Amino acid sequence: MRVSRIKIESFLVKIALTREQEAGCDDCARLSARLAQAMLAENIQEPELIAILYHLQQCIPCAEEFKVLNDCAQMDAEDSWPSFEEMWRALGAGEDAPLP
């Protein structure tokens, strides 16, 4: 699966150049679905969305949430959701980890 982080990093220069708008966690929650779609289309033009990308560089909770959302959007677009068995095995890989 393609890694969203690489894509995000490729926008860093653009972000640095257009950083007029500051986004917060609320904006991030509001616009993250749109950003995920824009990333899939590889077409991020709106300053609003670029501001969210910038926020994701700095806010770890938002970045983690966005990664999940982005992975889901990608699997939806590619119709590549793992099977139940694959997910189960993936969970099994963390078997030794303490329960939350």
List contacts with Zn ion (CB under 5 A): 25, 28, 59, 62
Cβ at position 22, least distance to Zn ion in Å: 11
Tell me how far the alpha carbon of residue 48 is from its chain's centroid.
15
Identity of the residue, 64 or 86, whose beta carbon is nearer to Zn ion in the bound complex: 64
Angle CA(7)–CA(67)–CA(93) in degrees, nearest 5? Answer: 115
Q: Which residues have C-beta within 8 Å of that of residue 79, sequence separation ≥ 6? A: none
**Whole-angstrom distance, CA of residue 74 vs CA of residue 61:** 20
Cβ at position 23, least distance to Zn ion in Å: 8
Q: Which residue is it, tokens 């860093």?
A: 12
Cβ at position 56, least distance to Zn ion in Å: 8
Identity of the residue, 20 or 22, whose beta carbon is nearer to Zn ion in the bound complex: 22
Identity of the residue, 27 or 46, whose beta carbon is nearer to Zn ion in the bound complex: 27
